[in-house]
Amino acid sequence: MISFHSIPLLIVSVLFLLLGVYVFAQRRGSPGNIGYVLWCYLTVHWHFTWAIIYSVNDLRTAELLNKIGYSGIIFLPIAYYDFAVSFVRKKNGNLRVLVPYLIGLAFLATIWMGNHFVVGVQKYWWGYFPNVGNWHPYYLCFLTYLCWDGLKVLSKEYRRETSILRKSQLKHVIVACACYMLAAIDFIANYGVPVYPFGFIFTFLSLLIVVRGISQHQLMGLSLVIRKTAIYSVVTASLTAIYFIIATQLAKLLEGVSGQANFWSAAVAAVVVTALFQPMMNRMRNLLDEKLFGDWLGDMSRGVVHEVKGPLASISLPAELTLMDLEDIEKGKQDIRALLPAMKERMRGILNKTGEAAERIEALYELAASRGPSAGAVSIHDIIQGGISAAKNVLGSANVPLVLDVPQGLPPVRGSVKQLEIAVGNLVKNAVEAMNGSHDPVRLSAYEDKKHIVLSVRDTGSGIGDQDQAHLFDPNFTTKGAKGMGLGLYLTEKIIREHGGTITVHSEVGKGTEFIVKLPKLSEKNSFAA
Ligand code: ADP
């Protein structure tokens, strides 16, 4: 009979098994994949053996399981180290990990050849658990060294790396590894202290972080199209299992208190747990939506409407004029030769605008799919020109001058020119719209500091109240009624963040607003490499 305490371990085992098989099947040769697959297998080995050890009643079986379990566990930090080094060096099979593997084999021998590493088991309230011998602390030192050195290698690479995509990948790897390390909490019970080994929570979180890294940043060369429903099913099934266990345990407890087994204790338990369970379930779904998937479809479709509205609006007028001209020619009112140059000019304009709309859709698709912006160097002057052209309609109809203060020769930034144009265009449009009929200029300036290109868009318009400032970057937040969509700043912030930058706002009601965008600049050396 499977013990209640084994269930979370079994669930985490199955999830790691699935992830391991996926990573193995997809891209065997990618740097870090072998180490990670081994790491997954060893995690399954650990969780699964301990799930059984908690459920057995026989001492000898528990002692055997202890040795089997530890035979895998000793290699866990080595597999992690192998993964970290291969990921950074961008190749599998590094000599640097050979020595740890050899030390691992030596530890393995001590497990099976004496009582120095593991010494039997002891029974805690959750089941049997390994006791360790006097050589185990040496293993802990070895493990600490590998954890520390692995993190050092990863964080050094993170600081050195300039590609935004790879930086995001490294960030996920570092957080996932650090999270997994917290599972070392389980070692406490090895030393006779009855601390419940809840390390599986950290291994589970680390798995979620890796899945996120794969789905959003092509970690280990993988891209995972996770079916929302598949993930929901796994999470719902896990939570439902936990729900039943809590409900039955609570029913038992109530029976103990009332002294009799009856229908009411089960019913009360079910009601209490359901009351707690439903909100938890909803929160979990929201969290999954937000952290794992983002509102991909929502972002994408609303973003497209927001960004394509402008180019489409400027297509309809010239198209209408051309149609009227054609009708006049048909009726013989106008001469085709006289109208031809104007019609050609308008058609060119329409073509430009449709091209622009298509490019914006592509840029938004890139953004919504979180493929990471492309790695090319982009001139800040091109971004500003593109941004101004995106805001041309609004600038023209409000009759607000734009004053530029952009020195020549600013170093480039890395990323997608189309996405950054959308960001700058939105800031300029908002600044112009905030002028409320005044014809004072909006100022756009750029300069470089030590590490960034800093862009500032400043207006002397309505300003933004403190309460509104807190919601500026929320999707759908607008004070413009039916005219606004509340998406400009949401998209802008997302774009800047994806480019490794920041956006801040300084505003005073009645005086005006300044948005400051900082983007990591590319040094000359890096821009040649790009
Ligand atoms: P929208 O322009 O469709 O309303 P945005 O996300 O671009 O959506 O802007 C959200 C809100 O932020 C605006 O409705 C406006 O209230 C405020 N806002 C943005 N920029 C400025 C600015 N420069 N001055 C005053 N208010 C601003």
DSSP string, 272-304: HHHHHHHHHHHHHHHHIIIIII-SHHHHHHHHH
CA 372 to chain centre: 11
Distance 487 CA to ligand 1 centre (A): 9
pLDDT value at residue 102: 95
- Please check the confidence at residue 79 and state whether its pLDDT lies above 80: yes
The number of residues making up the chain comes to: 530
Nearest ligand 1 atom to alpha carbon 457: 23
Helix (H), strand (E) at residue 315: helix 296-330
Q: Which atom of ligand 1 is nearest to the CA of 477?
A: 10
In the reported structure, the alpha carbon of residue 120 is separated from the centroid of ligand 1 by a whole-number distance in angstroms of: 67
Nearest CA to ligand 1 atom 21: 430
Task: Give the nearest ligand 1 atom to 459 CA.
Answer: 23
Per mean pLDDT, which range of 64-73, 196-205, 259-268 is the poorest? 259-268
Q: Annotate 158-183 with DSSP letters as a single string.
A: HHH---HHHHHHHHHHHHHHHHHHGG
**Tell me: the pLDDT tens digits for 175-226?**
999 999 999 999 999 999 988 899 999 999 999 999 888 876 667 766 555 5
Q: Is residue 55 within 8 Å of residue 6, measured between CB atoms?
A: yes
Mutational pocket test of ligand 1: of 402, 460, 478, the residue with most ligand atoms within 8 Å of the beta carbon = 478
Q: β-strand 442-448 against 402-405: which pairing, if any?
A: parallel
Ligand 1 atom index nearest CA of 461: 24
pLDDT at 169 exceeding the cut of 60: yes
Picking from 41, 51, 47, the residue whose alpha carbon sits closest to that of residue 17 is 41
Q: Report the distance separating Cα 228 and Cα 17, nearest Å.
A: 19
**Rounded distance between C-alpha atoms, residue 15 and residue 196, angstroms:** 22
pLDDT at 264 exceeding the cut of 70: no
10-34: average pLDDT: 83
Residue minimizing CA distance to atom 8 of ligand 1 = 486
Nearest to 404 by CA among 433, 420, 381, 437: 381
Q: pLDDT grade, residue 491 (50/70/90)? A: confident
Rounded average pLDDT over 345-366 = 78
Q: How far is the CA of 396 from the centre of ligand 1 (A)?
A: 19
Report the separation in Å between the CA atom of 372 and the middle of ligand 1, taken as the mean of its atom positions.
26
> Looking at the predicted structure, is the pLDDT value of residue 342 above 80?
yes
| Closest ligand 1 atom to Cα of 485 | 3
Confidence tier at 7 by pLDDT (50, 70, 90): confident
pLDDT(498) > 90:
no
Cα of 264 vs centre of ligand 1, distance in Å, is 56
Task: Specify the pLDDT at position 227.
Answer: 52
In tens, the pLDDT along 290-338 reads 665 555 556 666 667 777 777 777 788 888 888 888 888 888 888 888 8
Q: What pLDDT, on a 0 to 100 scale, did the predictor assign at position 87?
A: 87
pTM here is 0.50
pLDDT score for 254:
65
- Tell me, in angstroms, the distance from the centre of ligand 1 to residue 265's CA: 55
Measured from the CA of 489, which atom of ligand 1 is nearest? 6
What amino acid occupies position 288?
A: L
Is the dihedral angle over the CA atoms 402, 408, 410, 413 positive or is it negative? positive
More confident residue, 370 or 349: 349
Q: Is the pLDDT at 230 greater than 70, yes or no?
A: no
Q: Is a pLDDT exceeding 60 seen at residue 83? A: yes
What are the phi and psi torsion angles at 472 (to 5°)? -50, -40
Q: What is the mean pLDDT of residues 85-111?
A: 88
Give the mean pLDDT of 476-480: 84
Q: How confident is the model at residue 431 (pLDDT cuts 50, 70, 90)?
A: very high
Q: 430 CA to middle of ligand 1, Å?
A: 5
The pair of three-digit structure tokens given for residue 118, joined into one six-digit string: 């593991």
Nearest CA to ligand 1 atom 16: 479
DSSP bridge pairs for 308:
none
Cα–ligand 1 centroid distance for 437 (angstroms) = 16
More confident residue, 5 or 370: 5
**Helical pair 296-330 and 336-368, crossing angle rounded to 10 deg:** 180
Residue 526: band (very low, low, confident or very high) from pLDDT cuts 50, 70, 90: very low
- In sequence order, what are the residues at sequence separation of 6 or more whose Cβ sits closer than 8 angstroms to the Cβ of residue 380? 406, 410, 411, 412, 413, 446, 453, 455
pLDDT of residue 130: 94
What's residue 31's pLDDT? 75
Q: Mean of the pLDDT values across residues 466-480?
A: 85
Q: Give residues (CB < 6 A) around ligand 1.
A: 426, 430-431, 434, 459, 461-462, 464, 468, 472, 477-480, 484-490, 513
Overall average pLDDT of the 21-25 stretch = 84
* Helix, strand counts (H, E) of the chain: 19, 9
Distance of alpha carbon 321 from alpha carbon 342, whole angstroms:
10
Of the pLDDT bands very low, low, confident and very high (cuts 50, 70, 90), residue 530 is very low
Distance 479 CA to ligand 1 centre (A): 7
How many other CB atoms are found less than 10 A from the CB of residue 500? 19
Using alpha carbons only, what angle is made at residue 314 by residues 310 and 316, rounded to the nearest 5 degrees? 120
End-to-end CA distance of the chain: 59
C-alpha 84/C-alpha 393 separation (Å) is 51
pLDDT of residue 527: 41
| d(C-alpha 217, C-alpha 161), whole Å | 15
pLDDT the model gives residue 3: 82
Q: How far, in Å, from the CA of 286 to the mean position of ligand 1?
A: 26
Hey, which of 489, 490, 516 would you mutate to test ligand 1's pocket, going by the most ligand atoms within 8 Å of its Cβ? Answer: 489
Judged against a pLDDT cut of 70, whether residue 245 lies above it is answered with no
Within 8 A by CB and 6+ apart from 188, the residues are 195, 197
Calculate the CA 234 to chain-centre distance: 20
* Three-state DSSP class for residue 473: coil
DSSP states of 199-255 as a string? THHHHHHHHHHHHHHHHHH-GGG------HHHHHHHHHHHHHHHHHHHHHHHHHHHH
Is the Cβ–Cβ distance between 376 and 414 less than 8 Å? yes
Q: Of all protein residues, whose CA lies closest to atom 18 belonging to ligand 1?
A: 430
Mean predicted lDDT score pLDDT of the chain: 83
Q: Which atom of ligand 1 is nearest to the CA of 483?
A: 3
Closest atom, ligand 1, to C-alpha of 512: 24
Distance from Cα 478 to the centre of ligand 1, integer Å? 6
Q: What does the pLDDT read at residue 248?
A: 66
Q: How far is CA 168 from CA 36, 72, 92, 149, 473, in A?
A: 18, 31, 21, 20, 22
**Closest ligand 1 atom to 515 CA:** 23
> Of the ranges 75-84, 139-148, 413-422, which one carries the lowest mean pLDDT score?
413-422
How far does the centroid of ligand 1 lie from the alpha carbon of residue 285, in Å?
30
- What pLDDT score was predicted for residue 367? 67
pLDDT band at 525 (very low <50, low <70, confident <90, very high): very low
C-alpha 459 to ligand 1 mean position (Å): 12
Atom of ligand 1 nearest to the CA of 479: 14
Given this model, what pLDDT does residue 529 score? Answer: 35
> Atom 20 (ligand 1): residue with closest C-alpha?
430
